[in-house]
């Protein structure tokens, strides 16, 4: 599975790649073997010592399409497996275990609970997740695959 750095020219893309399950770090000037730097800066793209991919679009949806065309990322996506806030891999949990940290309505109705072992954020299935899933499918469905 591909790993990425996103630099500060890329806005929401970091979060979206994490939602798709890709190990994605904010770029802080480092070089890391096997991690592709994504950037909209031609200068940075040219000077980076490792593999780097120059993004042209400024909208994250179109940026994902650019990545799909170059790397075919969607076939390897593991949606909702990684924390969009901090990049850690989420761990399955139960409503019971996180009862005191979620709203009662969620405790009573939601399913598929996951917790981030790094930042502690709790995630669950629901209409918001379905909306994001459909949006990804629409974006990648339009790329000719
Ligand atoms: Zn987290």
**Ligand 1 geometric centre to CA of 63 (Å):** 24
Ligand 1 mean position, distance from CA 113 (Å) = 14
Joined tokens for residue 66: 């650019």
Helix then strand then coil, in percent of the chain rounded to 5, is 35, 20, 45
**How remote is the CA of residue 88 from the centroid of ligand 1, in Å?**
6
User: Which of 36, 44, 34, 42 shows the shortest CA–CA distance to 5?
Assistant: 36
Ligand 1 center–CA 45 separation, angstroms: 29
- pLDDT tens track for 100-123: 999 999 999 999 999 999 999 999
Picking from 65, 64, 23, 32, the residue whose alpha carbon sits closest to that of residue 51 is 32
Cα of 115 from ligand 1 centre, angstroms:
8
Of the pLDDT bands very low, low, confident and very high (cuts 50, 70, 90), residue 145 is very low
> Does the pTM of the predicted model rise above 0.85?
yes
- Structural domain spans, the chain: 3-80, 91-136
Q: What is the pLDDT of residues 10-66, one digit of tens each?
A: 989 999 999 999 999 999 999 999 999 999 999 999 999 999 999 999 999 999 999
> Which tokens is 111 given?
């399913």
């Amino acid at each position: 599975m591909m790993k990425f750095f996103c630099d500060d020219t890329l806005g929401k893309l970091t979060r979206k790649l994490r939602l798709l399950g890709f190990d994605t770090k904010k770029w802080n000037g480092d070089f890391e073997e096997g991690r592709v730097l994504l950037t909209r800066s031609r200068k940075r793209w040219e000077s980076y010592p490792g593999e780097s991919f120059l993004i042209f679009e400024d909208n994250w949806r179109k940026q994902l399409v650019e990545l799909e065309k170059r790397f075919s990322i969607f076939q390897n996506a593991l949606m909702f497996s990684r924390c969009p806030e901090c990049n850690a891999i989420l761990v399955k949990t139960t409503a019971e275990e996180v009862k005191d940290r979620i709203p009662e309505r969620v405790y009573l109705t939601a399913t598929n609970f996951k917790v981030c072992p790094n930042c502690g954020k709790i995630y669950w299935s629901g209409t918001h997740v379905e909306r994001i899933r459909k949006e990804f499918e629409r974006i990648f469905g339009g790329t000719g695959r």
